[in-house]
Chain A
């Protein structure tokens, strides 16, 4: 028996931890393209930028752990091909490695700008420790940062940069910020927040070209205007790294297709994390997530299945973002035509926005409302009938609603 894990990110690291934690004693090899052991990425656009002098890194496990648990870590090496018939992986250094079970945890990579100058040397995405390190020197008064894309990572970088007094311009093609993640009401709250903090936020604009010297990029917009900056943070989404799987003939549809156990169309090959399009039994559909919870817990489920403990991965999606000291959490999956219900003081960044459909709670966004949001997640999971009035009424404890649904 042996397991090979391709991809040393959060999912790869958690899978290995859970294999050993659940009694898997056979050889484990980790193939990681980055030079680092697995670490968590959320701080890259938060703590690491808010405190540029901090040297703290959130390792999944400290390096002694891998030696103590006999995990063979091959870092700075990537897998270039999977030979399914021979059950081996071909590595970038020419070596090969046999497996009984293979875990693909290759994650996602930042999308690059498909415009002239999209590869300008001042452009940088935030995905790795090195990326965050590169942005740090620009977090100071007098520096000017252009952020392309008003998604979570872009806005977190903008918030951190403002906290250090840097000038920030955010350019977004969609008519609103966070368009992929939240409803229009939350988008407009966050747009107002960033403007109030001094961000020059422009939505509905089209970036067409970047030129200028390496340390003084000039961004050209479709309306003829230009933005001069010192550095360009590109946060326009990520692409699942499913090429290895596709080349090997596995089912791939914008992510490696896996079932609720994390198994791909080849029973010896599993996948976890950002790279998967997985079946979620609670939602009754295949979804692809880019979230910390999914990277951790899907990986744990895969590890348990390999260790012989049959485990279905069935969780209500959950995500968070920290901006200007405000904690936003999102749970569930919204759908068109859902009804908005507000609890608390949303405009004062202390409340929740629920989304209901068919008399049930399907999604919630909490602003500085961690406990209520967690109960909302439970209510979504329980899935029974709830009334808008009770969710909106601060005198009704959400825990009591959950208790009723549990019966």
Chain B
């Protein structure tokens, strides 16, 4: 059984913007899209931009720094200058909270 941690309450996340959560030195961005929750690393793979300050359109998040884009479900880059995927975590929703196993992050 994986060690799950609760990142936030489900109602703390809106469709317009990812929520930034810090846990144990890692910054996460939590997204809500069509009723499902998704989690990626908050820091852009290209530079100093944070996804939690980014712009959301559908299942893509646009970095506020250079406007590179990622699919936040898979973490894959979808628009330059980003070329490396964001780390993503599998999400479990339970008791109105968003949970992940910090050690289960994967990079596409």
| Residues in A lying within 8 Å of B, measured CB to CB | 14, 17-18, 40, 60, 292-293, 296, 300, 318, 370-371, 374-375, 378, 397, 399
4 shortest interchain CB distances as A-B pairs = A370-B64, A374-B55, A399-B16, A370-B53
**CB–CB B64/A371 < 8 A:** yes
* Interface flag for B60 (CB, 8 Å): no
**CB–CB A17/B80 < 8 A:** yes
0/1 interface trace, chain B 29-69, chain A, CB 8 Å (1 if under): 00000000000000000000000011100000010111100
Using A296-B80, A399-B16 as known contacts, say yes or no to A371 and B54 having CB atoms under 8 A apart. Answer: yes
For residue B66, which residues in chain A have a CB less than 8 angstroms away from its CB? 292
CA of A370 to CA of B49 in the docked complex: distance in angstroms?
10
CA of A318 to CA of B63 in the docked complex: distance in angstroms?
14
For residue A296, which residues in chain B have a CB less than 8 angstroms away from its CB? 80-81
Contact among B16, B54, B55 for A397, CB-based, below 8 A: B16
* Interface flag for B91 (CB, 8 Å): no
**CB–CB A300/B80 < 8 A:** yes
For residue A375, which residues in chain B have a CB less than 8 angstroms away from its CB? 55
CA of A14 to CA of B53 in the docked complex: distance in angstroms?
26
CA of A374 to CA of B62 in the docked complex: distance in angstroms?
9
* Interface flag for B17 (CB, 8 Å): yes
Q: Can you give 12 contacting A-B residue pairs, CB < 8 Å?
A: A17-B80, A40-B81, A60-B81, A293-B67, A296-B80, A370-B53, A370-B65, A371-B17, A371-B64, A374-B54, A374-B67, A378-B55
Using A318-B67, A399-B16 as known contacts, say yes or no to A371 and B55 having CB atoms under 8 A apart. Answer: yes
Majority secondary structure, B binding face: loop
CA of A397 to CA of B17 in the docked complex: distance in angstroms?
11
Q: Determine how close the nearest CB of chain A comes to the CB of B81; give it in whole angstroms.
A: 7
Q: Determine how close the nearest CB of chain A comes to the CB of B22; give it in whole angstroms.
A: 18
CA of A399 to CA of B55 in the docked complex: distance in angstroms?
10
Q: Determine how close the nearest CB of chain B comes to the CB of A93; give it in whole angstroms.
A: 31
Majority secondary structure, A binding face: helix
Using A293-B67, A399-B16 as known contacts, say yes or no to A371 and B80 having CB atoms under 8 A apart. Answer: no
0/1 interface trace, chain B 1-28, chain A, CB 8 Å (1 if under): 0000000000000001100000000000
**CB–CB B80/A14 < 8 A:** yes
Known: A296-B81, A375-B55. 16 other contacts (CB 8 A): A17-B80, A40-B81, A292-B66, A293-B67, A300-B80, A370-B53, A370-B64, A371-B17, A371-B53, A371-B54, A371-B64, A374-B54, A374-B64, A397-B16, A399-B16, A399-B17
Give the nearest-CB partner of B48 in chain A: A47
Identify the interface centre among A14, A17, A318, A371: most chain B CB within 10 Å of its CB: A371
Give the nearest-CB partner of A62 in chain B: B83
Q: Determine how close the nearest CB of chain B comes to the CB of A162; give it in whole angstroms.
A: 21
For residue B65, which residues in chain A have a CB less than 8 angstroms away from its CB? 370
CA of A137 to CA of B50 in the docked complex: distance in angstroms?
32
For residue A397, which residues in chain B have a CB less than 8 angstroms away from its CB? 16
CA of A40 to CA of B81 in the docked complex: distance in angstroms?
10
CA of A370 to CA of B55 in the docked complex: distance in angstroms?
9
The B62-102 residues at the A interface (CB cut-off 8 A) are 62, 64-67, 80-81
CA of A375 to CA of B55 in the docked complex: distance in angstroms?
7
Q: Determine how close the nearest CB of chain A comes to the CB of B31; give it in whole angstroms.
A: 14
Identify the interface centre among A17, A40, A296, A300: most chain B CB within 10 Å of its CB: A296
Q: Determine how close the nearest CB of chain B comes to the CB of A382; give it in whole angstroms.
A: 13
For residue A14, which residues in chain B have a CB less than 8 angstroms away from its CB? 80
